[in-house]
């Protein structure tokens, strides 16, 4: 795993920074990009620019599935974590994994994080068109339904505005370029700020 902790600059007098873990696959890990251009690092920079005292740890593993994320949850999300962005499921859809298995794994991830008092933001994914309408209908429903059931914030589609845009993706057409990552960060930023507020409320700061 390419592990990279991005520390946002904050004044020495500021409160203890909110510790965020980005739990995901290659879209989080930053496949094909230098560490400083990966989603967690760019998100940390964007949050710092808005005055947030945070750290964002890159717990992305290329090729990981929702079940894979569940299997490594305890060591990928260490004690002291305040919030987690869950970005998993893209590889499940690409491999045609039964949506019920994906749902079960994501449900357990969220349940276990909440049991630890950790704020959670669920980043949604959509099935590729070639999987067919029935599969897409079952898969795409996972994220809004889990977010509603667990009462957690949802960013409906992690690749919103980036998917299928050749100018924002690498040659494989799947992984975003540095510019694509910036677009993702810009889109998800309001939801992450909501996540930070929830994490701060949980610890009373």
Return the active site residues.
Answer: 26, 172, 175
59: helix, strand or coil: strand
HSE-CB of 133 using CA atoms within 13 angstroms: 0
| Positive or negative: CA dihedral 168, 172, 173, 175 | negative
- Which residues sit opposite 59 in a β-bridge? 23
Contact 106, 122 (CB under 8 A): yes
Residue 136 burial class via C-beta count within 10 angstroms: exposed 0-12, middle 13-18, buried 19 and up: middle
Angle at 77 between CA 139 and CA 199, to 5 degrees: 85
H helix runs in the chain, sequence order: 26-29, 39-49, 66-71, 73-76, 90-95, 99-115, 133-140, 142-150, 178-203
51 within 8 A of 12, measured Cβ to Cβ: no
Long-range contacts of 166-171 (CB under 8 A, 24+ apart): 170/31, 170/32
């Amino acid at each position: 795993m390419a592990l990279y902790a991005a520390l946002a600059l904050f004044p020495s007098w500021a409160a203890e920074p909110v510790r965020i873990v980005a739990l995901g696959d290659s879209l989080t890990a930053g496949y094909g990009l230098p560490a400083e251009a990966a989603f967690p690092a760019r998100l940390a920079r964007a949050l710092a620019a808005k005055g947030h005292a945070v750290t964002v740890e890159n717990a992305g593993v290329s090729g990981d599935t929702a079940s894979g994320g569940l299997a490594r949850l305890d060591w990928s999300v260490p004690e002291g974590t305040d919030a987690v962005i869950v970005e998993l499921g893209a590889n499940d859809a690409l491999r045609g994994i039964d949506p019920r298995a994906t749902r079960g794994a994501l449900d357990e991830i969220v349940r276990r994080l909440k049991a630890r008092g950790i704020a959670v933001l669920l980043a949604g994914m959509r099935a590729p068109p070639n999987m067919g309408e029935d599969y897409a209908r079952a898969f795409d429903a996972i994220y809004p339904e889990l977010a509603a059931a667990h009462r957690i914030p949802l960013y409906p589609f992690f690749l919103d505005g980036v998917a299928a845009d050749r100018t924002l993706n690498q040659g494989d057409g799947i992984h975003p370029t540095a510019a694509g990552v910036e677009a993702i960060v810009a889109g998800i930023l309001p939801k992450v700020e909501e996540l930070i507020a929830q994490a701060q409320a949980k610890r009373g700061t």
